[in-house]
C-alpha cells in the first residue's frame, strides 16, 4: 500500500498526528536515523488501540518510542510505524506521596514537579532526558537507584490491545531491566510512590545531581547516554565501562561522524554526520579491543531498531 494511502486510512479510523516518511534522526538524541514510513504521536489510549489493531490487520511492524534518548535507528529508517509518546500523552496527578503519570511525561519535568510537591524518591532521575515510559522500560535511574524502586503499578496495553494493570512484582524490575524488554507491552501510565520530604531538601539533592552530570557527561554533543551497561560481573573484575574504555586508550577514537567522548569514555558523541554504520563499526571496535584486554564482552545499554522493527541491545546485532 502507498504510504499516503496508509496515512489516510489511519486518519479515517481516527488516528491523528500522522506523519509520512518522518526522519528518525529528529526523534533520536544521537541524531541518527533514516525515515520511518509512518510516525504517529500518541494522543489517547483508544486511538493507540486502533493503531495497534490496524498494524496487526495489515501486518505492519509497529514500534514504540519516547524521546529516543536510548535508541539507535538504522540509516535506512523503519519500514513500519513508530508510535511516539510525548507531550500529547503526559498528564500527571498527585495525591500525597503518590504520583499517577502518563508514559509521555518528560522525566526532568516530573522530577521538578515531584520536588515542588515535596515527593522524594525520584530525584535520582534528574537530568535523564527521556519519557517516563522509556525510563520504566529501561528501569533507568542513577546513583544505584532505579525508577522501579518507587513504581507501585503500571497500566499497559497488551498485544491484543487490552489495558492491563500490573503490580511492581509483575514488572520484574532488576538492574536496567524490566518485563517490558521481554514482552510485547506498551506502557501507558505509572503509579509511583515516593516519600514526603521538604521541597527544598529534594531540590537541593536534584541540583547536586544535575551539577555532577554537567561536569561528568558530554551534554553539548548529540549522544545516547551510556552506550554500555554496567554489568556487575565485569564491574567486579575491571570496573565500570567508562574506566575500562578509557584505560584501553580509546577516548577520542573516531569512525566517520562518531567519536568516543574525550569527556566520558562510555559516551559516543556525534561530531557531525554520524550514521548507524559508524555506530556499528565503532561499538564493534571498542568491544573487540576491550575483549582482548580483559576477556569480557561489553554489552550495550543502547537499543538498536532494525528497519524491520526488531529492537534489542545494539551488541546483539554485531
Contacts of 35 (CB under 8 A, 6+ apart): 21, 22, 23, 24, 77, 78
Number of residues that bind ligand FAD (CB under 6 A): 34
Let me know if 47 is a catalytic residue: no
Let me know if 69 is a catalytic residue: no
- Least distance to ligand FAD from the beta carbon of 8, Å? 26
Q: What single string gives the DSSP state of each residue in 81-142?
A: EEEE-SGGG--EEEETTEEEEETT-BHHHHHHHHHHTTEES-GGGTT--SBHHHHHHHT--S
- Least distance to ligand FAD from the beta carbon of 125, Å? 7
Site string for ligand FAD, 236-275 (x = CB under 6 A): ----------------------------------------
Q: How far apart are CA 178 and CA 301, in angstroms?
A: 13
Residue 56: count other Cβ atoms within 10 Å of its Cβ.
13
- Least distance to ligand FAD from the beta carbon of 44, Å? 14
Query: Length of the chain in residues, anyone?
Result: 318
Let me know if 117 is a catalytic residue: no
Pick the binder of ligand FAD from 141, 194, 242, 307 (CB under 6 A).
Answer: 141
25, 178, 301, 303: the active-site residue: 301
Contacts (CB under 6 A) with ligand FAD, residues 47-106: 63-71, 85, 103
Burial of 273 (0-12, 13-18, 19+ CB in 10 A): exposed
- How large is the C-alpha radius of gyration of the chain? 20
- Least distance to ligand FAD from the beta carbon of 96, Å? 25
Binding region for ligand FAD (CB under 6 A): 29, 63-71, 85, 103, 128-131, 133-135, 137-138, 140-142, 180, 186-187, 217, 219, 223-225, 303, 311
Amino acid at each position: 500500500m502507498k504510504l499516503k494511502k496508509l496515512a489516510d486510512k489511519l486518519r479515517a479510523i481516527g488516528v491523528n498526528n500522522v506523519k509520512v516518511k518522518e526522519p528518525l534522526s529528529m526523534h533520536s538524541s544521537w541524531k541518527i536515523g533514516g525515515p520511518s514510513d509512518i510516525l504517529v504521536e500518541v494522543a489517547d489510549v483508544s486511538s493507540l488501540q486502533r493503531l495497534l489493531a490496524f498494524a496487526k490487520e495489515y501486518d505492519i511492524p509497529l514500534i514504540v518510542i519516547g524521546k529516543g534518548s536510548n535508541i539507535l535507528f538504522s540509516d535506512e529508517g523503519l519500514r513500519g510505524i513508530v508510535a511516539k509518546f510525548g507531550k500529547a500523552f503526559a498528564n500527571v496527578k498527585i495525591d500525597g506521596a503518590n504520583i499517577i503519570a502518563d508514559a509521555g511525561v518528560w522525566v526532568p519535568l516530573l522530577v521538578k514537579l515531584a520536588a515542588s510537591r515535596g515527593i522524594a524518591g525520584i530525584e535520582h532521575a534528574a537530568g535523564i532526558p527521556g519519557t517516563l515510559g522509556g525510563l520504566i522500560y529501561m528501569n533507568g535511574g542513577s546513583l544505584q537507584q532505579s525508577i522501579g524502586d518507587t513504581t507501585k503499578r503500571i497500566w499497559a496495553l497488551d498485544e491484543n490491545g487490552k489495558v492491563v494493570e500490573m503490580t511492581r512484582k509483575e514488572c520484574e524490575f532488576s538492574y536496567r531491566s524490566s518485563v517490558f524488554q521481554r514482552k510485547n507491552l506498551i506502557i501507558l501510565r505509572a503509579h509511583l510512590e515516593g516519600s514526603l520530604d521538604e521541597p527544598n531538601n529534594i531540590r537541593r539533592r536534584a541540583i547536586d545531581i544535575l551539577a555532577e552530570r554537567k561536569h561528568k557527561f558530554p551534554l553539548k554533543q548529540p549522544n545516547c547516554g551510556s552506550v554500555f551497561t554496567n554489568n556487575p560481573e565485569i564491574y567486579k573484575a575491571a570496573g565500570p565501562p567508562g574506566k575500562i574504555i578509557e584505560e584501553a586508550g580509546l577516548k577520542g577514537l573516531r569512525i566517520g561522524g562518531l567519536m568516543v567522548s574525550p569527556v566520558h569514555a562510555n559516551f559516543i558523541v556525534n561530531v557531525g554526520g554520524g550514521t548507524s554504520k559508524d555506530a556499528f563499526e565503532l561499538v564493534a571496535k571498542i568491544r573487540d579491543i576491550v575483549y582482548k584486554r580483559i576477556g569480557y564482552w561489553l554489552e550495550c545499554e543502547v537499543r538498536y531498531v532494525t528497519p524491520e522493527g526488531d529492537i534489542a541491545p545494539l551488541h546483539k546485532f554485531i
